[in-house]
Structure 1
Amino acid sequence: MQSIERAFALLEMMADAGGMVPLSQLATSSGLPLPTIHRLVRTLVDLGYVRQEPSRQYVLGPRLIRLGEASSHMLSIWARPHLAQLVDQVGESANMAMLDGDQIVYLAQVQSRHSMRMFTEVGRRVLPHCTAVGKAILSKLPEPEVRDLLHRTGMPQHTSTTITNPDEFIAQLHKAESDGYALDEGEQEQGVRCIAVPVPDAPSRLALSLSGPAGRMTEDLLHQAVPLLTQAAKSLSDDLR
């Protein structure tokens, strides 16, 4: 049992480090003796869950992809009732998204029943700086980590309201952290407004959102949506434990 716990802890450490780490870093991070780390990692290599590169660093192996795909599918199934309830309560499209590497990926969606609605499809990948879900998730990360991400991705402008200045973006994250929700004011798609909250204590960096045409996403609707989104995120978090 202890070996299983340690092996999964090593996989999570590798994921937190970006997927590639030297053995010495795993030993430092875990506090385990180097021979123990080497034995566990070699077992994970033999099983295909970890791979050793020519540089002698270890990377997460391709066999994890199948587990990740199945996990993402289950996340979508668990999220769907919560998203459907949000659509019933507010009337606009509801989404769940996750930070995957440096990108936001949409994992689940329930569309509004309005004839004019949003068509952000499941599986779509976008950069986090121009989305409410991205802001909600990044508002929970340390500022240096966010700045490093922005440096890697850049902040391309999609519309006239896209934030392209890191300091302005960080200020918005502080506001989102204080308010408990984040907004996208047509920053990804012109004329689309979105509100999002992070999913607390989730195993992945997740957020729930409501999106719709700016004309329907009024201040009154946003005021109504915040507690409903917050409760949905908490309920989903409870389901994932």
Structure 2
Amino acid sequence: MATRKPGRARIGEPTGVRALERGLRLLEELGSGEALSLSELARRAELTPSTTYRLLETLRRRHFVDWDELSGLWRIGLRAYQIGQAFCHPNSLSSLALEAMQRLVARINETVNLAVLDGAEAVYIQQVESRQMLRMFTQLGARVPLHCTGVGKVLLAWRSEEEVRQLLGPEPLVAFTPHTLTRVDAVLQELERVRRLGYAVDREEREIGVRCLAAPVRDATGRVVAALSLSAPAVRLPERRLAELAPVVLETTRDLSLRLGWQPETAPLPVDQSSPT
């Protein structure tokens, strides 16, 4: 059987689509804010240097990337930033949540994050930091696993068991600390507890010394579309304080869900429209 040559479009696949995929891959590599050389970008995107250069030049002409002539490095451009800002439109989830998050931080003085599901990971899309000297910080756009984070557990809890297993993938799950649940059945039991309580807790499962408490944000259909969490050093979040803060966080997510059109009399739904087995 003939081997497809590198750089050639697959049969039946428009060449423009292939080029678009490659260009987006380059933008993703530059999206972390790191300036990269042509050769490094080509290596990461698994492209030839000549193809990488042609794509970057197209992106540069449209101001999606910039090239520093002195260093020879490529970085994300102003146009990419401008388009990304559309996600912060006044009617977007992150913007609607910001005011509620600011009120919550003013009340509890701990860092608050908002995350959504993207593929098999949770992605942070909004953050309000506390005024504490020692405080938690998460870069917007950072991706975290689902099985060992408060936001991840919330984003999984109201989904079917079949979908949860698919999202978690094969066992054993990655153990980040001695407290991480590495068996899917153990995670499913934890998700049952999350549904019963209405919130999730990360007890140093992702990082030693850090605890989180997260609750669901629902849309007009009752579907969980985001998770709002507070995070703090474990010494500031003992079990007693977690129990005290849970109703405060739930009150915030309830108010935000109402703003998104959620109607308590018709929600919450079971497990994302199909009950767990």
1:70 shift after superposition? 2.5
Verify the 8 A CA contact 2:105 2:111 in the aligned structure 1: yes
Query: Matched residues in 1 for 2:128 and 2:237: separation?
Result: 17
Please, which of 111, 116, 120 is the counterpart of residue 129 of structure 2? 111
Query: Matched residues in 2 for 1:235 and 1:219: separation?
Result: 25
Query: Matched residues in 2 for 1:236 and 1:167: separation?
Result: 32
Change in Cα spacing, 1:105 to 1:153, as seen in structure 2 (3 Å) is: farther
1:68 shift after superposition? 8.4
- 1:138 and 2:156 matched: yes
Q: What residue identity is the alignment partner of 1:121?
A: Q
Verify the 8 A CA contact 2:218 2:224 in the aligned structure 1: no
Verify the 8 A CA contact 1:75 1:107 in the aligned structure 2: no
Verify the 8 A CA contact 1:127 1:153 in the aligned structure 2: no
1:238 shift after superposition? 2.2
Change in Cα spacing, 1:227 to 1:54, as seen in structure 2 (3 Å) is: farther
- 1:187 and 2:187 matched: no
Q: What residue identity is the alignment partner of 1:239?
A: R
1:237 shift after superposition? 1.6
Q: Spell out the pairing of 1:1-241 with structure 2 (5 A cutoff).
A: 54=12, 70-71=86-87, 74-151=92-169, 155-201=173-219, 205-241=225-261
* TM-score normalised according to structure 1 size: 0.69
Q: 1:131-165, CA deviations, whole angstroms, 9 ceiling, x for partnerless residues?
A: 00110111110111101111169721111111111
Query: Matched residues in 2 for 1:72 and 1:143: separation?
Result: 33
Query: Matched residues in 1 for 2:206 and 2:180: separation?
Result: 7
Verify the 8 A CA contact 1:98 1:107 in the aligned structure 2: yes
Query: Matched residues in 1 for 2:233 and 2:219: separation?
Result: 31
* TM-score normalised according to structure 2 size: 0.60
Q: What residue identity is the alignment partner of 2:181?
A: I
Q: 1:19-58, CA deviations, whole angstroms, 9 ceiling, x for partnerless residues?
A: xxxxxxxxxxxxxxxxxxxxxxxxxxxxxxxxxx9389xx
Rg bigger for which structure? 2
1:167 shift after superposition? 0.7
Query: Matched residues in 2 for 1:75 and 1:139: separation?
Result: 20
* Runs of at least 5 residues in structure 2 that lack an aligned partner in the other structure: 1-10, 22-79, 262-277
Verify the 8 A CA contact 2:125 2:141 in the aligned structure 1: yes
Verify the 8 A CA contact 2:149 2:206 in the aligned structure 1: yes
Change in Cα spacing, 1:223 to 1:230, as seen in structure 2 (3 Å) is: same
1:69 shift after superposition? 6.7
Percent identity, please.
41
Give the match's secondary structure for 2:134.
Answer: coil
Q: 1:101-142, CA deviations, whole angstroms, 9 ceiling, x for partnerless residues?
A: 111000101111111111112110111111001101111101
Count of residue pairs the alignment pairs up: 184
Give the match's secondary structure for 1:198.
Answer: strand
Moved more, 216-225 or 68-77: 68-77
Change in Cα spacing, 1:153 to 1:239, as seen in structure 2 (3 Å) is: farther
Query: Matched residues in 2 for 1:201 and 1:78: separation?
Result: 12
Verify the 8 A CA contact 2:154 2:199 in the aligned structure 1: yes
Verify the 8 A CA contact 2:219 2:260 in the aligned structure 1: no
Give the match's secondary structure for 1:171.
Answer: helix
Give the match's secondary structure for 1:233.
Answer: helix
Q: What residue identity is the alignment partner of 1:167?
A: D
Query: Matched residues in 2 for 1:68 and 1:119: separation?
Result: 21
